[in-house]
Structure 1
Amino acid sequence: MVRRTVLAALLVAAALAGGARAQLKEGFYDYSCPQAEKIVKDYVKAHIPHAPDVASTLLRTHFHDCFVRGCDASVLLNATGGSEAEKDAAPNLTLRGFGFIDRIKALLEKECPGVVSCADIVALAARDSVGVIGGPFWSVPTGRRDGTVSIKQEALDQIPAPTMNFTQLLQSFQNKSLNLADLVWLSGAHTIGISQCNSFSERLYNFTGRGGPDDADPSLDPLYAAKLRLKCKTLTDNTTIVEMDPGSFRTFDLSYYRGVLKRRGLFQSDAALITDAASKADILSVINAPPEVFFQVFAGSMVKMGAIEVKTGSEGEIRKHCALVNKH
């Protein structure tokens, strides 16, 4: 039954993403830059084992990029002309993979100048880095073009916040043509990575606005909350980091969902997943199935996400430097 459900989900994912994916294709660079995907993969395989935490930030970079103006690498652009860019918005201040992407871009520019987009590098590097740490593999159709606009406020408005309830989360995903299942499976990316205390400290000290350690989110397991307060000692701590999936934050597995069911999700948005019956049922189905089932459904949702509002053909440009729009 679980396997039939997974197959149906993957078929629906392919159909819904079909319009955008028709403009992308696997092997897009086979003739224009035959070594492109190998260059990305080899660099990731050489460096992620020495810095496994970068896998989570590359995955977040891809997610945050696609939710604002589509998957067009606008999150990589520096601010210009006194206007702040997406990377200056609070959700993106902890992204640490820009230099990693820049180094891959430099290798590709040496191999095939002006051919491979930064948007495709982000998508490929996210996929390959997850694979290196033992996570799933998914197809990445290529041919994305790079955007030329990046606006801080759009990132603040469109990237799902860790404080959102289920209704807000689902609406945020539906705005990008993603559905409830995509919300559940893509949230599973929280199985890897870390977060700063200020992303969830209101759950520990100021949930209702009254303030103090007695004003904790009642949906958070009290023992887990007490452990978090030992690390995050104040409401305003913005330097201490905490594992999003304690004890398993470098392993792509099902322990995140098990923690959520035990009321040990780090963010309000994690806790929100079990406030909806259909969402909770999806989580229960996947944790009672073989691990490869989660890998399959996560992969299907990543393919859909990677096709959000892509620029292809003559749209956008192929940036020479990922942080800068080309000079014309």
Structure 2
Amino acid sequence: MCHIESCPKGGSERHLQKDFWLFIDGNHDVVVFDFPLIGDFDPTSYYTTLKEAIIQSIMLTYNLEESEISSFLNPVPGKNEQSIVIFETEEGGTGVLKSLLNTSLDRFDKFIENLFRILHVKSLEPYEETMDACITACYNCLLRFRNQFEHNLLNRKIILPLIKLLNKSKLKGISEVSELDLREKLKNLKEKCDSELEKMVLDEITKQKIRLPDEAQKLYTENDVPISKADFFYNPDTYLFVDGPPHTPENVQREDKAKRDKIESYGHTVIELDFKDGKYHEDSSIITQEVSKLRDFFDDIIDYDSQ
């Protein structure tokens, strides 16, 4: 005998709302991969295969469980392409995806290496596959229990042309800044400069596509006691000093060192650009060389020319 309970509020079937989706807001680390469709292949099969190769390479690189990372495809409007969205399932993120895109680490290179390993590629020159290489997909490469409904779409060979191109790829950080923001920021910084040398340094920073400082003439204090004034400052804790000819005397250099050592002793970063001999007036390459030191501290590339 079947027993059907009635709604305590008197609701009936006509009150039911269908096609109702529930969403949960969460803070998760996400990486979006956008790749062209190379070859005359079915887009769904191509991007599904690529998605699985990427997520399994990340899992292998970081020794992750399947439950720790997930993915989905997102159609690109107006194109026969799809974006591959990879996200950490844990709220707040574990730092894996940030580590993958950190240019100061070698995780991205390892990720590319594991892509070839997963796809049964032993070497590229000459091209050679592993002894256990399958025809399309197998449980030693792309197949797994969680993607069983996509097994008919997976074909490792259709993404090999793209994966081969990734072999020599390099990871670079790119920051976008509007032309208006750039002009305003550069203008404000130059207005606070104490010398033409500092302005020349700012111009060279933009020429080399390095981040502009966040502040100029930044006073460093400890317990409200002034210690030193940096020519420029980068958030959150980097002090940049542009040392021209006035810093040549030995007593000045001793004072500079003592003050800057104290700043570093509190855990801050100090960068010094050396123009004390004044030769930058005749040889502009000296400014180029000194400013290039900043690349050791800031790896993001500001594409000013495209703005």
User: If the TM-score is normalised by the length of the shorter chain, which range does it land in?
Assistant: under 0.3
Bigger Rg, which one: 2
TM-score (norm 2): 0.25
Which structure has greater strand proportion? 2
Which structure has greater helix proportion? 1
Structure with more contact order per residue of length (Cα contacts < 8 Å, sep ≥ 6): 1
